[in-house]
A and B are shown apart, each in its own frame.
Chain A
Amino acid sequence: MELRADALAQSRRLRPWSLVAAGAVVWTAAYAVNRPLWEWLVGDVAGLDRGARLGGAVEFFVYDTTKILLLLGGIIFVVTVLRSFMSVERTRALLGRHRHGVGNVAAAGLGVVTPFCSCSAVPGFIGFVAAGVPLGITMSFLIASPMVNEVAIVLLYGLFGWKVAVLYAAAGLMIAITAGWVIGRLRLERWVEPFVFETTLHGRTIDPGAGLTWHERFAMGAEEVGRIVRRIWPFLLVGIAVGAAIHGWVPEDFFAEVAGAGNPLAVPIATLLGIPLYSNAAGILPLVEALHAKGLATGTVLAFMMSVVALSLPEMILLRRVLKPRLLATFVGVVGAGILAVGLLFNLIL
């Protein structure tokens, strides 16, 4: 009797893992078969000429949609499960005692691994500052979190290869660290809305990451995939459609003439263009991929992407609640300058 109960308990503990393993196998098979499948369906079954504009655009559209959905699903699941071990609350505790400089590096690094949604930006900011984390260090965290975003990095890897992905992550971290440090040195605490410093923290802080079972973590991962895909699929389709159109109809090397690596205005324009555009990384990447394929320089492309993701209008409207206009402007200015520098640098060296 006891042996059977033990065996049952054992199998119940293993069940989430076997499901995840099966899922991984299915995912890998789907990813491998993606390109040949659509080549066959579009070329042979539907009879479209893949070299022509319409055929090329259609194939790009269906292939890219499948690829990105697969990548997204995989990354979000894995990252959510890993991140369920971290929390903003624990990050705050870790950051409380660092000095400037080191603190900026730690904050940027933690910003990457800590789960963070844009709705946490303001409570997070208040929570950090009210707990005594210096303004500059808080800023490093706030800049790194949305910008060095796992979705962006893995999609970049899937679309451009690992070199670009690593460069993006490194550049994002450098910007977060430097911008946060600069803001800290400028001593801009007086431009934070006063109520933030007056907020007293009462109540026991709860750590959302503690005490979860694997089953719960996997469930969170699956839920997050569903939630994010449901939220962004219109952006994604629009981004891919525009990318497909560019792929099919814009001549090769079009951008190389108009906005190639030699043109210094390309990067500032790209950075400015990114500010009013709101998208998360997944929606903008297909567009970025197509632009790059048509000759837009890598540095310009990265600057555009960073600008869209890090200097988003909605997030700035949210941050206005806690930052006075001058601090907000400084924030945009410093981060924007960093993005500009990175874009120009990459155009030079790549």
Chain B
Amino acid sequence: MDIKVLGSGCANCKALEARTRAVLDDLGVVAPIEKVTDFADIAGYGVMTTPALVIDGEVVLAGRVPPVADLVAIIERATA
């Protein structure tokens, strides 16, 4: 599973990365999180409001840091 967090270093972007990491660890999923900070790449995904989460090339959420429960649901759906 290929996971990317899109964001250029604002507090929300770091928060999303940390929360995603925590959820992955809790679920026991072994997957590296790649941080994408280049603006051109971020915009290339069609994302205009950071932070955003990309799983296996598909943007699964953008523009906010969701509560842990939502993140768990998203990741479980992706691993299913």
Report if B40 contacts A (CB, 8 A). yes
Cα distance A208–B70 in the bound complex, in angstroms: 13
Interface contact B46-A122, CB-CB below 8 Å = no
Chain A CB within 10 A, most for which of B11, B39, B48, B70: B48
- With contacts A117-B12, A119-B7, A119-B10 taken as known, whether A203 is within 8 angstroms of B57 at the C-beta atoms is yes
User: Which residues in chain A, 113-141, are within 8 Å of chain B measured between CB atoms?
Assistant: 115-120, 122-124, 126-128, 130
- B42 nearest in chain A by CB position: A123
- A202 nearest in chain B by CB position: B44
Interface size bracket, A side:
35 or more
Contacts of A120 in B (CB 8 A): 48-50
- With contacts A126-B39, A126-B43, A206-B62 taken as known, whether A88 is within 8 angstroms of B11 at the C-beta atoms is no
User: C-beta contact mask, B40-59 vs A, less than 8 Å → 1, else 0?
Assistant: 10111111111010000111
Report if A87 contacts B (CB, 8 A). yes
Contacts of A126 in B (CB 8 A): 39-40, 42-43, 48
Interface size bracket, B side:
20 to 34
B6 vs chain A, min Cβ distance (A): 8
Interface contact B48-A123, CB-CB below 8 Å = yes
User: C-beta contact mask, B1-24 vs A, less than 8 Å → 1, else 0?
Assistant: 000000111111100000000000
A219 vs chain B, min Cβ distance (A): 7
Report if A89 contacts B (CB, 8 A). yes
Cα distance A116–B63 in the bound complex, in angstroms: 9
Name the prevailing secondary structure of the A interface residues: helix
User: Which residues in chain A, 27-74, are within 8 Å of chain B measured between CB atoms?
Assistant: none
Contacts of A199 in B (CB 8 A): 40, 43-44
- A84 nearest in chain B by CB position: B64
Chain B CB within 10 A, most for which of A116, A122, A209: A122
Report if A247 contacts B (CB, 8 A). no
Interface contact A201-B44, CB-CB below 8 Å = yes
Cα distance A207–B44 in the bound complex, in angstroms: 15
Cα distance A87–B64 in the bound complex, in angstroms: 11
Interface contact A123-B67, CB-CB below 8 Å = no
Cα distance A34–B7 in the bound complex, in angstroms: 40
- With contacts A123-B39, A195-B40 taken as known, whether A202 is within 8 angstroms of B12 at the C-beta atoms is no
User: Which residues in chain A, 172-228, are within 8 Å of chain B measured between CB atoms?
Assistant: 195-196, 199-206, 208-209, 216, 219-220, 223, 227
Interfacial residues, chain A to chain B (CB-CB below 8 A): 87-89, 92, 115-120, 122-124, 126-128, 130, 195-196, 199-206, 208-209, 216, 219-220, 223, 227, 231, 321-322
Interfacial residues, chain B to chain A (CB-CB below 8 A): 7-13, 39-40, 42-50, 52, 57-65, 67, 70
19 A-B Cβ contacts within 8 A?
Answer: A87-B49, A120-B49, A120-B50, A122-B8, A123-B8, A123-B47, A123-B49, A123-B50, A126-B39, A126-B40, A126-B43, A127-B43, A127-B46, A127-B48, A202-B46, A203-B58, A206-B52, A208-B62, A227-B12
